[in-house]
Amino acid sequence: MANPNLQMYRSDSPTVEIGIESNPIDFGFCLAGEDTVLPYDILLWNDKGAVLGSEDAKNIYIELIKLYVSQSWTSTGLPNQTYNVSYYPIITDTQRVTVDGNIWTKVPSLIGQPSTAEVYTFNFTTGELIFGDGVNGKIPPIGLTINIQYVPDLDTHGKTIYSEKWVGIRSSGIVSNDIHITTELITKISDDEAEVIHFPYLSAITGVWDNPGKTGTNYYTGGSFDGNSGRIMLGSTCEEPELYAEYDYRIKDDEGAGFTSIGDDIRYGPLTRIPKNNCKRLQLKIDVPSEASTAGGAYIQAYLRVYYSF
């Protein structure tokens, strides 16, 4: 079997992978002092479509690794346009400045830059962004959108984002598909009881035999099972040392009642194991404290990291 392959997708666009460097989770504009719930769920799939034949992902934790603040302005077309970000100082070189979607380049100084150079200066301490005057560096054309993404310094203003844990997460359901195990050597507990390897959730038992060829007595006939524990109560006693089972299992629904705050050293988990072609639905929210913003809120994008074993 292949290693687990966990990927996050949007519930409203399930072919679009999200939470990665090229496509962060975008909360949009989050009003200060209010909860902003992401308008779609995050679908955490393991081996979507069972293309790889992956093993179950176990001991799954989710961690907030980066939280970008995003701000935009409209170019006035004037020389040396100057803008200030709301949260500063900034972690060095985490900024990304675009004009009309095109990335411009940070330079130490605008002096001597060509008049067509798409450059800017940025002060990481004060959060001041300055563009050229048409002689030293290009002027952003009038009416175009200027955008900056950046990570506030964790030791000052940005520490609020992590230590006060603006981001909350909860399990909101599953997408389940039964996985069929044709033949598996299972754990014999007693002559009347056994346990399968893959659970939760054990959804069906075809039979239990004392040989891998599954010939002779089906010891499960008349028996029962516990889907949550993976325990099988045999229908007839078996004194043979080994037992082999054919069964079906899937992900277990562990929908949560409330949100868990993550950030700093707090991770979310562990989640129940996710078999191949099964999915955990996750709901995210963000709470920008009223005292943390001078602009009534902030545009925020998040990156998550998923840890697991197998």
Residue extents of the structural domains in the chain: 6-174+253-309, 178-249
Residue 160 predicted with pLDDT over 70: no
Mean pLDDT comparison of 37-51, 84-98, 265-279, highest-scoring range: 37-51
Which of 27-41, 50-64, 199-213 is least confident? 27-41
Residue 180 predicted with pLDDT over 60: yes
Exposure b/e, 180-213, CB count within 10 A at least 16 = b: eeeeeebebeeeeebbbebbbbbbebebbbbeee
Mean pLDDT in residue range 33-52: 92
Mean pLDDT in residue range 195-202: 88
Which position has the higher pLDDT, 72 or 194? Answer: 194
Helices and strands: H and E segment counts in the chain: 1, 24
Chain mean pLDDT for the chain: 89
Which of 215-224, 229-238, 266-275, 277-286 is least confident? 266-275
Burial (CB count within 10 angstroms: exposed 0-12, middle 13-18, buried 19+), residue 106: middle
Q: Tell me: the pLDDT tens digits for 205-256?
A: 999 999 999 999 999 999 999 999 999 999 999 999 999 999 999 999 877 7
Cα angle 44, 147, 62; round to 5? 20
Residue 158: what pLDDT? Answer: 47
Residue 55: what pLDDT? Answer: 92
Q: Tell me: the pLDDT tens digits for 87-140?
A: 778 888 989 999 999 999 999 999 999 999 999 999 999 999 999 999 999 999
